[in-house]
Structure 1
Amino acid sequence: MTTTSSPPFVLPTAQAQTSIDRAAILHSGNAGVIVERVGQLRAEFRSEARQFARELSEYLNTNYAGIITVFVYEETFGTKDRLHWLMHLKSLHAYETLIEMGSRDAGWRDIIMRQRIDPARGGGTWDRMFLDGELHETVLIPSAFGMYGTSDETPDSVRTTDGAATFTVPTAQLQTDVPVEDQLNSATCGILMHRTGELRYEFRAEGRAFARALCESWNRALAGHATIYLYEEAFGRSDRIHHFIHLKSLSSYYTLMGVRAMSDPATREVFTRQWIPEEKGGGGWERMFVQSSLSDLSLTPQHWGMYATKTER
C-alpha cells in the first residue's frame, strides 16, 4: 500500500504579496519612512476586509512603484482580526504624492468606493468592515546618529539648503555592517517582531546609543537568522523607540534565545556596560527605560487562504 503525504507548508514572505519586480520593492531596510497603519476588523467581514486590504496594497504597489510599497500582516499572537499595513515610503516627500492621489486617482477611488459586502448581509463599502475609531497610524523614521544628542559632531547627513540645515536620514540597512544581501527585512522575513520601549528623557542619548549597539551585536551574532533595525517615532510620543526584529521563521526565536543565553563576550558586554556616566548617577541599560514600557508584538505576513480568503494565486 502506497501512502502519500503533503509537503510541509512554508509560510510565504511579504514580498509574495506583490507582482512588482523585487528590485523595485521598498522595505524596512531601504525605506526612508515607514507608516504602520493598524485596523480592527469586524469578525463578520473578516474575509472581505482582508481581500480589500490586499487589493488596495497591490494597487499602490503597482501604480506607485518606487514611491511606496505596502505589505499586510496579521498578529501572530495578540488580537485576532487586527490587521497591520506597513507602508514603506521613499521619503516624506513621497507621502505628499499619496495625498494628491486621494483626489485625482480614479483607480484608487474605485477601490475605496466599491460595494464589497453582499446585499444579503446589508451591503456596503470598506468602512463597514472596520470598527469605528480603530484605524490608527504610527510614523517611523530610521534612527541615525546625530539625533537627540547621540553625536558630539555634526554628522555628514546634515546639509544646508536655502540657509537652513536639513537632515538626510540614512536607511536602516546602513545601521549594520552585515552585507545587505545577508540581511532580512520586512519583505523577506517569516516573522516580524515589533518591539517598543520608552526612554527616560534624561537618558535619551545613552538609551539610543545602547539600542544601536545592541542591534549591531545581535545582527553579527544572528546573521542569516535575524536582522534588527532601530526606528524613531516621528509624530507621536517623544523618546519612544521601535525595534523591528526580522526573524527567518517563528522557530528562529529559539536562536534569539540562544544568543541571549550564551556567554559570548561581545554580546554580554553590551548588556553589562555602564552606559550612564557617573555625573548622572551611573548604571546600565536597565535605568534608561520607563518601567514596564518595553513590549513585543509578533506579526505574520498575510497570505491567501487565511481566514477564508480566496486561495487562488
Structure 2
Amino acid sequence: MTATSSPPLVLPTAQDQTAARGALLHSGNAGVVVERVGQLRAEFRSEGRQFARELAEYLNTHYADIISVFVYEETFGTKDRLHWLMHLKSLHAYEQLIRMGTADEGWRDIILRERIPAERGGGAWDRLFLDGALHETVLIPSTFGMYGTSESTPDSVTAEDGAATFVVPTAQLQTDVPVEQQLNSTTCGILMHRVAELKYEYRAEGRAFARALCESWNRVLAGHATIYLYEEAFGQSDRIHHFIHLKSLSSYYTLMGVRATSDPATREVFTRQWISDEKGGGGWDRMFVQGSLCDLALTPQHWGMYATKAGA
C-alpha cells in the first residue's frame, strides 16, 4: 500500500470575519489592544458567538477609522470562553467609543435586542454569559523607556502643552523584518498569548531580554511566526505580554526547533548574562517571578466551530 497524506486544513483567519474594506487595525499597527474575555453559558453557546461576531462587525463597519475587533476561541483551554481583541488607534479612540452607549442607536439595538427565544426563558446578551465572567486587559506596545525603565529620556517623549508626553510606537516597529512579511492578529492561524511577570528589581533587564527575544525569533522565524511585546496599561505592574502569531498550529514545531537549535546567534539570547555583577549576575531565568510564565493559544473564530450554529 502507498501511504498518502491529507491536504493541510486551512482555517479562516480573523480578517475573514469582516466585510469591512480598507486598512484594518491589528496587533501590529494598533496603538492599544484591549482583550475582553467572556465565558458563555453552555446552553447559549451558539447565540453567544452570534452576538460576539455581530458586535465586532458593527464596530468594524461603523468605526473603521478608529477600531477593528475580532473574535477568538481558546484552542486548548476552557471551552465556550470567547476572546475579543479590540485594536484601537489610541486611548483617545476609546474615549470616542464611550459615547456609543447613549448616542448610537445601531449599537444600542445590538445590546438591547432579545437574543434568547421565549421558550428558552427569553433575554438579551447579558443572559448569554456567566455573571462576573467578563474581564478586560489593556495592552500597549512596549518600547524602551516605558515606565521609568531607562536612565535617560527616550526619543519617544515629546512636550505637549508644557507636559511631557510619551508617544508609543506600534508593535510592528519592534522588528526590522519588513511589515509585509510579518504575521499579525488578522493574518495568523493561531495567536499564542504568553504572559510573564518580572521581578521589580530586574524590570529594565527583563524588558531588554523580552525585546531581544522578539527580534531574534522574528528574524529566524520569518514566514512562520511573528512576535510582539506589550505592557499592561491598567493592571499588574511589570507583567509583560508576548503575542506570538503562528502561521498555523503546526508552526509550533518550528518554534520548538528554533528553541532547540545550537545556532550561536539564536542561543545567545538565552545564555547571555542579562543581570550585572552588581546585582548578583545571572541570566533571563532570574528576572521572572517563578511560575508566572503562562501560554494560551487562540484560534480565530469561524462559523461552525465546536458544532455551533452559524450566524444569520
- In the superposition, the TM-score normalised over structure 2's length comes to 0.96
**C-alpha distance in 1 between matches for 2:146 and 2:280:** 23
Q: Contact 2:46–2:310 (CA<8 Å) still a contact in 1?
A: no
Q: Contact 1:72–1:302 (CA<8 Å) still a contact in 2?
A: yes
Q: Contact 1:140–1:232 (CA<8 Å) still a contact in 2?
A: yes
CA shift, 1:312, in A, is: 7.2
The aligned counterpart of 1:27 is 26
Q: Contact 2:50–2:310 (CA<8 Å) still a contact in 1?
A: no
CA shift, 1:311, in A, is: 4.2
* Structure 1 pair 248–305 and aligned structure 2 pair: CA distance change class (3 A): same
Identify which range, 146-155 or 168-177, moves more after superposition.
146-155
**C-alpha distance in 1 between matches for 2:203 and 2:7:** 49
CA shift, 1:146, in A, is: 1.3
SS of alignment partner, residue 99 of structure 2: helix
CA shift, 1:29, in A, is: 0.1
**C-alpha distance in 1 between matches for 2:236 and 2:8:** 43
**C-alpha distance in 2 between matches for 1:308 and 1:116:** 19
Please tell me whether residue 297 in structure 1 is matched to residue 296 in structure 2. yes
* Structure 1 pair 136–287 and aligned structure 2 pair: CA distance change class (3 A): same
**C-alpha distance in 1 between matches for 2:285 and 2:224:** 26
Q: Contact 2:141–2:169 (CA<8 Å) still a contact in 1?
A: yes
Q: Contact 1:46–1:307 (CA<8 Å) still a contact in 2?
A: no
**C-alpha distance in 2 between matches for 1:127 and 1:138:** 20
Deviation string 1:95-132 (CA, Å, 9 cap, x unpaired) is: 00110111100000000000011111011100000000
The one-letter code of the counterpart of 2:75 is T
Please tell me whether residue 187 in structure 1 is matched to residue 186 in structure 2. yes
SS of alignment partner, residue 212 of structure 2: helix
Unaligned runs of 5+ in 2: 1-5
What does 1:70-219 align with in structure 2 at a 5 Å threshold?
Answer: 70-219=69-218
In the alignment of these two chains, the number of paired residues is 308
| RMSD between superposed Cα atoms in Å | 1.5
SS of alignment partner, residue 139 of structure 1: strand
**C-alpha distance in 2 between matches for 1:94 and 1:88:** 10
Please tell me whether residue 237 in structure 1 is matched to residue 242 in structure 2. no
Deviation string 1:251-279 (CA, Å, 9 cap, x unpaired) is: 00000000001111111100000000011
**C-alpha distance in 2 between matches for 1:266 and 1:48:** 50
Please tell me whether residue 11 in structure 1 is matched to residue 11 in structure 2. yes
- In the superposition, the TM-score normalised over structure 1's length comes to 0.96
SS of alignment partner, residue 208 of structure 1: helix
Q: Contact 1:197–1:295 (CA<8 Å) still a contact in 2?
A: yes
What does 1:253-292 align with in structure 2 at a 5 Å threshold?
Answer: 253-292=252-291
**C-alpha distance in 2 between matches for 1:286 and 1:149:** 22
The aligned counterpart of 1:46 is 45
Q: Contact 2:33–2:86 (CA<8 Å) still a contact in 1?
A: yes
**C-alpha distance in 1 between matches for 2:97 and 2:309:** 28
CA shift, 1:153, in A, is: 2.9
CA shift, 1:8, in A, is: 5.4
CA shift, 1:240, in A, is: 0.3
The one-letter code of the counterpart of 1:72 is V
**C-alpha distance in 2 between matches for 1:283 and 1:148:** 23
The one-letter code of the counterpart of 1:135 is L
**C-alpha distance in 1 between matches for 2:107 and 2:18:** 17
Unaligned runs of 5+ in 1: 1-5
Q: Contact 2:144–2:154 (CA<8 Å) still a contact in 1?
A: yes
